[in-house]
Structure 1
Amino acid sequence: MDEIEIKRAKGTGAKFAYETIRDEILSLTLAPNALLDETSLADRFAMSRSPVREALIRLAGEGLVIMLANRSTIVAPIDVTSFPKYIEALDIAQRMNTRLAAELRSEADLDAIAARQADFVAAVQTGNHLAMSEANKQFHMAIAEAGKNPYLTSFYERLLDQGRRMLHLHFQYIERTHDGYLLTDEHVEMLEAIRARDIPRADTLAAAHTRQYRDNFLNFMRENYSAPMPLGASKPA
């Protein structure tokens, strides 16, 4: 029984370390390129290095940290130069999943999407960007589930996870400048298009949704970085 409890404690420790570090990376509390020292993290969490390393390996698999050849680990940088390609992929995945949802959704799917939208509105009221980005992801995943294509759903989820740190910058820009809105109205319109089985409208809204996210992120970068950077992105079709 003691051995079982030890194994359970190790698993719990790795899960706690993973969730804590992941939340701090996604919320930008841990900055891109920040060094993640296993010993310091183990001391912080009052655990051995083994569950910390297990957590870091899991985060590396999700692309949130990079394990270097010298055995150091850093928070993955936000690669701004690849942002246009990211947006192209996100645009395609978002439009396809939303189109399929409009075609194939059930009443249960509509209830799930509406519930996730209510969760997003509640998260916006808290002003907690981590809660907002998680609720935003769950709203879009409910749409993807309604599309009934597990391959597209899996691909879309990975893209949403990869973009969550940039979404936090998007939220910060809107709150500071009041230039735009926090996606809430667009979510409602997308739900109504899916409810009406209006595939062209769902497609148009999904593309516009991606453009708003893209434009606000680029505006944030231009506002905060004076050096020229290749930030242009082709307009989604």
Structure 2
Amino acid sequence: MATPKQAKGRGSKFVYDELKREILSLVLQPGTPLDETSLAERFAMSRSPIREALVRLSAEGFVVMLSNRSTLVAPINLTELPRYVEALDFLQRINTRLAAQNRSEPEISLMTQEARAFERACAANDYLAMSATNRDFHMAIANAGKNPYIARAYGQLLDEGRRILHMHFDYIRASSTDSLLGSEHEDMIEAVRVQDIELADRLAHNHTRQFHNRFVEFLSANYSDGFDFELSTLPESA
């Protein structure tokens, strides 16, 4: 079989970016098989860059590479949601505390820019942009904390959570009592700006709690399996 002619300027990074976008936006559903041969035909590439992209996605937890050499889009394990939110809460709080301690004025400006980008994405009803700009906002805070190790771990959790956000965006936007656009981001920026570490910690915690509560409400409204996702170790307020 002739090797597919690779599109100019495209390689493993292009495949990685496209597949990641489709996974995060749930175009590729959890558990979907990813066949290297089919992907090579789709992207007009040899299997080598396809394999490189899948290995990178596997390292980041977006796909699962099985022992029989097949690859699947990573499942979303809802039973592990409480553990996920506990980890998110810890990292969100410590990164926001560090930002309040270490931030610079240019970093405050960047946080504000990212918050505005999220608002524009919400106004456009662009779910992929909404989850991306939400991540960018929180990473602007994390980077202001100036601990790259903690920020890196936080970024990985934020990426994992983007699929969960996509699952319930419609539910939130249809809600008569809840809104994606509150004052949470602005309040966090202000706490970081005035270097109120304890307030920054409390707002970060409440932001995590809101994320948890919204998703539990979505599950309760859309599924009847009786999942219990209450977090015994995550208090209502810090």
**1 CA distance for matches of 2:156 and 2:177?**
28
| 3-state SS, counterpart of residue 72 of structure 2 | strand
8 A Cα contact 2:6 2:44, kept in partner: no
The equivalences for 1:189-228 within 5 A come to 189-228=187-226
Taking the aligned partners of 2:10 and 2:26, their CA distance within structure 1 comes to 24
The 2-side partners of 1:172 and 1:196 are apart by 35
Range 18-27 or range 111-120, more displaced: 111-120
Structure 1 residue matching 2:10: 3-state secondary structure: helix
Structure 1: gaps of 5 or more residues:
1-5
The equivalent residue for 1:158 is 156
In structure 2, C-alpha distance between the alignment counterparts of 1:171 and 1:206, rounded to whole Å: 21
Q: Distance in 2 between matches of 1:87 and 1:170?
A: 16
What letter matches 1:91 in structure 2? Answer: D
TM-fit CA distance, 1:183:
4.6
Q: Point out where structure 2 has 5 or more consecutive residues left out of the alignment.
A: none
The corresponding residue for 2:101 is: 103
Superposed CA deviations along residues 73-108 of structure 1, whole A, max 9, x for unmatched, are: 110000111110110111011111111111221111
Question: Identity percentage over the alignment?
Answer: 53
Structure 2 partner of 1:3: none
Deviation readout 1:195-214 (Å, 9 max, x if unpaired):
12122211111111001111
Q: Distance in 2 between matches of 1:148 and 1:184?
A: 27
Deviations 1:34-86 (A, max 9, x none): 11111222222222222211111111011000011111111000011111011
TM-score (norm 1): 0.91
Is contact 2:34–2:71 with CA below 8 Å preserved after alignment? yes
Aligned residues: 231
Pairwise CA distance, 1:118: 1.4
Residue 7 of structure 1 deviates from its aligned partner by: 10
- Cα distance in 2 for partners of 1:7, 1:31 equals 26
Asked whether the 8 Å contact 1:17–1:45 carries over to 2, the reply is: yes
SS at match of 1:158: helix
What stretches of structure 1 move > 6 A for 4+ residues in a row? Answer: none
Paired AA for residue 47 in structure 1: M
| Equivalent runs, 1:31-46 vs 2, <5 Å | 31-46=29-44
Matched, 1:66 2:91: no
- Alpha-carbon distance in 2 for matches of 1:76, 1:154: 20
1:172 and 2:170 correspond: yes
- 1: distance between equivalents of 2:228 and 2:148? 34
